Structure 1
Amino acid sequence: MSKNNGIGNSRARFARSLARLASGVALLALSGCLVPSDGPLTREVLDAGATGGSSYKIPETKMIFDVVDIDQRVANGVTTLGTPSLARTFGFGGAGGVPVIGVGDKLQVTIFEAGPDGLFSTTESKSTTIPVVVQPDGRGQIPYVGSVRFAGMTLETARDTIVDALKAKAVEPDVLVSMAENESRNVSVQGDVGHAAMVPLGLSADHLSEVLARAGGATKPPYDTYVTLKRGGRTGTVLLQTIVDNPKEDIIVKPADQVYVTYDPQTFSVLGQTEKKGKIPFGAASLSLIEAAALAGGGNLATADPKGYFIFRYENESVYRHVVGDDRFRDLLAKGMTSDGQGRYPIIYRLDLAQTQSYIVAQSFPVRNRDVIYLSRHPATDFSRFVGMVTGTLAPVSTASRTVQTF
């Protein structure tokens, strides 16, 4: 064979290789359009996030969110700032000060006199007990004293006021004022408790757990029971398990607080290339991403893309600002990002399981109630399925080729 013929054959083989490569690329691109999918590819999720830059145009119908890679800084911020806290919302509270008399309270006012024939004494008894109900105007009536404004007074102040008013009228008067029924210092406890009630507060500071106990306690497991406290215009919600585990969350309640106890089992949903799909219960008070991945059975190595492990969530503003920065957050708002009505904004977190450190970071990244976890498929699976559709040889992946990776 001549030298020229050898060179010609090499060029021909090279040209055929290029043609096959071009055909493969074209088929791969075409497969993405024609092959039915069970969710977006990794690059499609990343491309769906709002990119930075003032020239970026956002269609009016597009939801605006950011896609954030999980690293240790992000995991720490989500854990610290994203964990609900009654203490952060309301403060722990102090001793509560000295209790005062309020509207509706029922008092027992006992008046003593030194002489046997006084205004409030007889030969049989040197005292008289007068029941007093504090009226809506804050006042109550005492014979020979008249109208006394009890609301806002302590029991000791009320005693001194009555004694001073009787000094010129009674014989060496002394007075004892006690609380017969506490109607003004109550906390409302409703929901999944032993018995919903208006729980009266004692003279000392009462913790939230004590008030719940007086209402019969929660009827469901603490890791699936939420406690919501409303005070004025503020509302805070935590798991009952959080109050049990963290004494700082067992805050001191105040009169007129409203407490709602709700049974709502924590779950997360799993989609994509995992062994288990659907809604999965936590079965615990907290759950890390690594634990959630294990509950989902791990990823399918034959079809999963390790670079595409995503967590879809609505995140609190403080957490969002921490993970993306204030400037980025304002940019997203300018582009049209909106909240869900509860002050939370859409975000997607991504874990790249092709990176070794991701398996460590995932141990400290918390999964939240109602999170959606999605493991995308590998792009090569689309091409394989497309070829199978064209050639008619599409078949399920063999058992031997399917291995499960538990993260």
Structure 2
Amino acid sequence: MTRRASVLGALACLTTAAGCGLPRPGPNKKEIFAGSVLNGGDAFVVTVNPRVTRATSVLPSFGFSSSFKNAGIVGSDTLSPGDVLGVTIFENVKDDPLLGNTGQRVSALTEVQVDGQGYIFIPYAGKIKAAGQTVDGLRQNITRKLDEQTPDPQITVTRLAGDGSSVTISGSVVAPGVYPIERPTRTLAAMLAKAGGVAIEPAVALVRVTRGGKTGKVWLKDLWSNPGLDIAMRPGDQIVIERDERRFTALGATGSQALVPFQSETLSAIEALATVGGLQTMAADPTGVFIFRNEPAEIANIVLGRKDLRGDQRIVYVLDLTRPNGMFEARDFLIRDGDTVYVTEAPYVQWNKTLSVLTGSAGAASSLDSLGSGS
């Protein structure tokens, strides 16, 4: 009997320990509320309502500054440093032309490049400012310079290459590369079309433009829907198509536990849950949907009705999907980059686990009792 009593006592201790340390995905509702500031913890626990939803509905601020928006359309023949030109000069003299040999009335200057300061060099005309001029304007300037030395010269100027008036397109596009600014591609949307469009889902595509040390960024779908964002291109613009890098973490009694990328510009709590397979039917507590977030002080003060908070604040937002308006609140509450969406287990799940341990312990005790009696 002494051996049997000691075995049963050991099993009782194991059962008690199992009841206190059963496997689970994280804290339960009681433990989360116990960690609130009201109970001496370091996180504010806030129930989501329409006022909280409005205060926290903050989206990333993207757009182009006035310097981008106010830039006018560049003419397709406007010259820039780096452009390569072809200049042909027709002289009205036979015996002693200024540029050619005797009897040669036509002189062709091929691959005349506009230098870094925007000038070109024409024999007998000297350095002429080309950058910022149209092809026809440059032709007139060359004509005036040479007219003083050869009678009534006829000049043609052709833009052979557009290296100076070009933009670079890279990132998630079908055909990255360097593209000239031409008449059909003088705006951002047209230039992207020239590169074959984006190679990722348009809903998560961001368009970043860098010009002269300044950068602007917009959602691709906003570029499509808002003509005011279709900015004019400038020589040297760098266009990069990048994927939205925002993520949230799903934990607890959800369909999957993972680090999940955003699939659209906005993502509600109900959409976030749907993305990971919803709630586990046999395990989740629909009254215990929590969003853990480090909230900036300006938003935290509004949410909590205070003015004294400084720095980021730990806030746990609570959603109860069993309430009449719970689903609507979850549909309207926006998830932000870095959020943790956590769903607690239903209380009965822990009871089932405890009963399983007790049932298993009782079976083990019976077996040990039989062994003890047999000895």
TM-score, normalised to structure 1's length?
0.64
Alignment-derived partner of residue 351 in structure 2: 384
Any idea what SS the aligned residue of 2:175 has?
coil
Change (3 A) 1:375 1:142: same
Alignment-derived partner of residue 28 in structure 2: 41
- 2:74 and 2:232 in contact (8 A); partners too: no
1:82 Cα deviation after fit: 0.7
Residue deviations 1:199-255 (CA, integer Å, cap 9, x gap)? 111257733332222223333432354443334444455554454455555444433
Any idea what SS the aligned residue of 1:332 has?
coil
Alignment-derived partner of residue 120 in structure 2: 140
C-alpha distance in structure 2 between counterparts of 1:127 and 1:314, whole Å: 74
Residue deviations 1:45-100 (CA, integer Å, cap 9, x gap)? 4666778xxxx997xxxxxx766654445545655x41553346975455335574
- 1:86 and 1:251 in contact (8 A); partners too: no
C-alpha distance in structure 2 between counterparts of 1:170 and 1:49, whole Å: 91
Alignment-derived partner of residue 157 in structure 2: 177
Change (3 A) 1:233 1:77: farther
Any idea what SS the aligned residue of 1:310 has?
strand
1:324 Cα deviation after fit: 4.3
- 2:79 and 2:130 in contact (8 A); partners too: yes
Aligned-residue RMSD, C-alpha: 4.5
Name stretches of at least 5 consecutive residues in structure 2 with no aligned partner. 1-16, 362-375
* Counterpart residue type for residue 28 of structure 2: L
C-alpha distance in structure 2 between counterparts of 1:50 and 1:332, whole Å: 15
C-alpha distance in structure 1 between counterparts of 2:108 and 2:215, whole Å: 43
Alignment-derived partner of residue 250 in structure 2: 270
User: How many percent identity over aligned positions?
Assistant: 29
- 1:31 and 1:382 in contact (8 A); partners too: no
Q: How many residues align?
A: 340
1:145 Cα deviation after fit: 0.8
Any idea what SS the aligned residue of 2:310 has?
helix
Any idea what SS the aligned residue of 2:331 has?
coil
Q: Please show how residues 46-195 of structure 1 align to structure 2 within 5 Å.
A: 69-76=47-54, 81-83=58-60, 85-87=62-64, 92-98=69-75, 100-115=78-93, 118-119=97-98, 127-131=106-110, 132-195=112-175
* Counterpart residue type for residue 130 of structure 1: L
Change (3 A) 1:130 1:304: same
TM-score, normalised to structure 2's length?
0.68
Any idea what SS the aligned residue of 2:139 has?
helix
The question of 1:359 aligning with 2:327 is answered yes
Change (3 A) 1:209 1:269: same
Q: Please show how residues 388-403 of structure 1 align to structure 2 within 5 Å.
A: 388=355, 391-392=358-359
> Aligned match of 1:332 in 306, 310, 322?
310
Q: Please show how residues 360-375 of structure 1 align to structure 2 within 5 Å.
A: 360-367=328-335, 371-375=339-343
C-alpha distance in structure 1 between counterparts of 2:289 and 2:273, whole Å: 10
Any idea what SS the aligned residue of 1:373 has?
strand
Alignment-derived partner of residue 11 in structure 2: none
C-alpha distance in structure 2 between counterparts of 1:33 and 1:233, whole Å: 60
1:197 Cα deviation after fit: 0.6
Residue deviations 1:247-289 (CA, integer Å, cap 9, x gap)? 5554444332222234679875432123444456766675433
The question of 1:214 aligning with 2:194 is answered yes
Change (3 A) 1:246 1:369: farther
Change (3 A) 1:46 1:57: closer
Change (3 A) 1:88 1:172: closer
